[in-house]
Structures are given as structure tokens and as C-alpha cells.
Amino acid sequence: MSTEASTNLIEVRDLNLTLAKRRVLNIESVVIRRGEIIMLAGNNGSGKTTLLKIIAGLIRAPEAHFRCLGSPMNGEQAAAFCRGRHVYLHQTPYMFDGSVEDNVAYGLKQRGRDFAQRRIEIRDALAWAELEHLVHRHAHELSTGEKQRVALTRARILAPSLLLLDEITANMDSISRRRTYEMVADFKRAGSTVVFATHDHEPLEAIADVRLELSKGKLAPTDRRAAAVIPLRRDSSIHES
């Protein structure tokens, strides 16, 4: 698989998806560029979640044409390529049966990090999210907002090249929201890419490079502004897990 430094992480063309006999997505073309913050807007039921899951490789779009890091792929190949590489955060996150620490450790374990290293990374990440006091709590006992913050920490710690956030600030309190937006900006600085579906437009509009607007499964013309607000530091390490 070519991992040449294509500026496009992923391109999808002719994305038509039918679920339960209903046309859910009908997108001519969508492109995710490396290092951008993309805001995904759209009313309830417009297809944001579905689009994010396709880019995450969790829903297959058999008839669409993909190009991942420059290589053309069909739906099946693209799903396999994206799965685990692009990290998707559920709108209502799922907590594994275990402590908060176990949950945050999950992805690191899959990446073969050893125990000692994991421990340090997890403590750091939880400290960042101000969740240290929950570290030994059972994840099922958490409040909805706490779960959302743990889920974000669990994904963030993997430093994926593409992070797909599905309205994850919906149940967060104002401090956590602010911290989440700061994190998104940090990610961009580190050269990573973030797609953020949301109904809270203002805070994200300040840092987003692109705004994608979905409406009844169709994509409105892209509003691509100069990536100005935060300077793109191409030299910083790019995590290609």
C-alpha cells in the first residue's frame, strides 16, 4: 500500500448508501485533506453519523470509489484500510466493562504498548481530561458526560492521523467543551486531521478550516477557507499508527 505523502488522506466519490431501503447518503465527492480541521454540520438525520462511520471503515459503502493515501480502492478495501487507522468516537460512546483505566488502555494494548509505558501515558491523558479521580471507577457507573470525556481520552491517546468526532461535546460541561476544542487545535498543530460533527457551530467555526454541510444525505458546496487561524506545522511528527 502506498503511503506516499499524499495531501489527501481519503477521497470518496459516488457515495450512495441505502439502508433499510432508504437512500441515506448521496454524495458526489468528499475529500479529507491531511492536517485540516473539518466541521461537519447538518440537521438531525442528515447523515453525519453515517458518513463518519464510512470514513472510519465501520460501515461499508460497496458501490462508492475510494482513494486512501493516494491508492484507489473499492468499498471493501477502503473499509479494511480505514478500520483502526481512523478513530471514530460514537455519539453515545460505548464503555467496555472495566475500569476507566482499562477503557483508556484498550487501544494502546492493541498497538502493543507495554504495561509501564501504558501506565504513564494513561495517567497523563487522564490528567489532561481532569478525570484522574475516576481512574479506578467502573466505566458503567459514569455519568453520560463523564463517559463522553473518557471516550475522548481513549481515542486521543492513540494520536491517530484522522480523528472522527461525532457530536462528542453534546453532554460535556462548558469546561470540558473548551478543553475539547483546544485539543482539536492541538491535533492540527501536530499534523493530524479531525472531522467534527456538531450542532454547536460557533466555537468550532473559529478553528475549523473547512465546513461541510450535509442536508438530507447531500453535501452542500464546500466552504474552504484559508487555513489561517492556526499555523500548520508540517515538521511535527505525524502519527501513522
Partner 1 sequence: MSELGQASAEAVELLLSGDAVLWSIISVSFSVSLRAIAIATPIALFAAFTLAYTSFPGRRMLVTATNTLMAVPAVVIGLSVYLLLSRGGPFGDLRLLFTQSAMIIGQILLCLPLLIAMAHAAFQSGDQRAWETALTLGATRWRAMRTVMYEIRFGLLAAVIAAFGRIIAEVGCSMMVGGNILYHTRNIPTAIALETSKGAFSQGIALGMVLLGFALLLNVALGYAQGSGEIDR
Ligand X SMILES: Nc1ncnc2c1ncn2[C@@H]1O[C@H](COP(=O)(O)OP(=O)(O)OP(=O)(O)O)[C@@H](O)[C@H]1O
Stretch that binds partner 1, among 34-42, 70-78, 103-111, 210-218 (CB under 8 A): 103-111
List the one residue from 96, 127, 205, 229 that touches partner 1 (CB under 8 A): 96
193: Cβ contacts below 8 Å, ≥ 6 apart: 9, 32, 33, 34, 35, 36, 37, 38, 161, 162, 163, 187
Which H or E element spans position 213? strand 210-215
- Cell numbers linked to 110: 492493541
The CA distance from 170 to 168, in Å, is 5
Burial 166-204 (b: 16+ CB within 10 A, else e): bbbbebbeeebbebbbebbeebbeebbbbbbbbeeeeeb
Please tell me whether residue 198 binds Mg ion under the rule CB under 5 A: no
List the one residue from 97, 114, 202, 235 that touches partner 1 (CB under 8 A): 97
Give the interface size with ligand X as a residue count (CB under 6 A): 20
DSSP-derived pairing of the beta strands 37-42 and 210-215: parallel
- Minimum separation from the CB atom of position 185 to partner 1 (A): 23
Please tell me whether residue 144 binds Mg ion under the rule CB under 5 A: yes
Strand partners, 194: 37, 163
Closer Cβ to Mg ion, 64 or 165, answer by number: 165
- Minimum separation from the CB atom of position 168 to partner 1 (A): 13
Closer Cβ to its own copies, 43 or 117, answer by number: 43
List the one residue from 31, 35, 51, 88 that touches partner 1 (CB under 8 A): 88
Query: Is 195 within 8 Å of 55 (Cβ atoms)?
Result: yes
Of 106-165, binders to partner 1 (CB under 8 A) are: 106-107, 110-111, 140, 154-155, 158
Which residues of the chain form contacts with partner 1 (CB under 8 A)? 20, 53, 56-58, 83-88, 90, 92-94, 96-97, 106-107, 110-111, 140, 154-155, 158, 241
